[in-house]
Amino acid sequence: GAVVSQHPSRVICKSGTSVKIECRSLDFQATTMFWYRQFPKQSLMLMATSNEGSKATYEQGVEKDKFLINHASLTLSTLTVTSAHPEDSSFYICSASGQGVREQYFGPGTRLTVT
Amino acid sequence: QKEVEQDPGPLSVPEGAIVSLNCTYSNSAFQYFMWYRQYSRKGPELLMYTYSSGNKEDGRFTAQVDKSSKYISLFIRDSQPSDSATYLCAMLKTSGSRLTFGEGTQLTVNP
């Protein structure tokens, strides 16, 4: 199957700072990338969808100025959590799909802890 | 009412058992069906992807889709302790790219 990587796998930051998470498709061109967050023992919650070269589409209730998404190339998308607070602590997972492909392939996730 | 219903379990079976995992859905617009496996603190891994009604087999895994009943299943034969994980069903509508997930079923296979 297609491979998606995320970096970092784990990050701890202080309240008020910003954190950037990278998502890369390693062996295919990802025309669409998705960002999710997942709380313990819960399913995935879609935050936003981004198409390469376009602005991201955010789900209702997700602050676009707080969660900045950039999808500048067909293999890379970034999520920046700005002015992070402890309530932003969560497991963030990206996924990607290629042109004309319905399946989404997920990255390994990034665990963010804001102290 | 949720669009996709999945029993969260937990489900515990002995090694070698046949496992049956199921999801029901209410919206006939769902046309594409996926099963993901998620180990603790990892991202979901795509196991099976199906479009039409019927069965699809891959090794020990069989995915079954019954669109008339709006019911999908994942069967795991000869289950192994390494199959212990959370299994998520996910669905896509004909138009759009937004996956709708079930809650996930937590499976434990005991040696």
Q: What is the 3-state secondary structure (H, E, C) of chain B?
A: CCCEEECCCCEEEECCCCEEEEEEECCCCEEEEEEEEECCCCCCEEEEEECCCEEEEECCEEEEEECCCCEEEEEECCCCHHHCEEEEEEEEECCCCCCEECCCEEEEEEC
Is the CB of B41 less than 8 angstroms away from the CB of A105? no
The pLDDT value given to residue B24: 97
pLDDT for B1 equals 78
Question: In this predicted structure, what is the pLDDT of residue A1?
Answer: 67
Q: How confident is the prediction along chain B (111 residues), in pLDDT tens digits per residue?
A: 789 999 988 999 999 999 999 999 999 999 999 999 999 999 999 999 998 788 999 999 999 999 999 999 999 999 999 999 999 999 999 887 889 999 999 999 999
SS in 3 state form for A54-114?
Answer: CCCEECCCCCCCCEEEEEEECCEEEEEECCCCHHHCEEEEEEEEECCCCCCEECCCEEEEE
- Residue A102 contacts B, CB cutoff 8 Å: yes
Using an 8 Å Cβ cutoff, are B36 and A38 in contact? Answer: no
Is residue B72 within 8 A of residue B33, CB to CB? The reply is yes
Q: Is B101 on the interface with A (CB under 8 A)?
A: yes
The DSSP secondary-structure symbol of A15 reads: T
pLDDT of res. A22: 97
At residue A48, does pLDDT exceed 80? Answer: yes
Count of C-beta atoms within a 10 Å radius of residue B11: 15
Q: Do B45 and A106 touch (CB under 8 A)?
A: yes
User: pLDDT (tens digit, 9 = 90+) per residue, A3-31?
Assistant: 999 999 999 999 999 999 999 999 999 99
Which residue is closest to B10 within chain A, CA to CA? A41
pLDDT at B97: 84
Q: Do A104 and B99 touch (CB under 8 A)?
A: yes
A113 vs A55 pLDDT, higher one: A113
Mean pLDDT, chain A, whole residue set = 94
B97: nearest CB among A32, A93, A105: A32
Contact A109 B103 (CB under 8 A): no
The answer to whether residues B50 and B65 touch, using CB atoms and an 8 Å cutoff, is yes
Q: Specify the pLDDT at position A40.
A: 87
Of A42, A105, A108, the CB nearest to B42: A108
The values of phi and psi at residue A74, to 5°, are -75, 0
Name chain B contacts of A111, Cβ cutoff 8 Å.
41
| Side-by-side strand order, sheet with B4-6 | B4-6, B19-25, B71-76, B61-66, B54-58
Output the CA torsion A2→A10→A70→A41 (10° steps): 70
> What does residue A88 show for φ and ψ, rounded to 5 degrees?
-85, -10
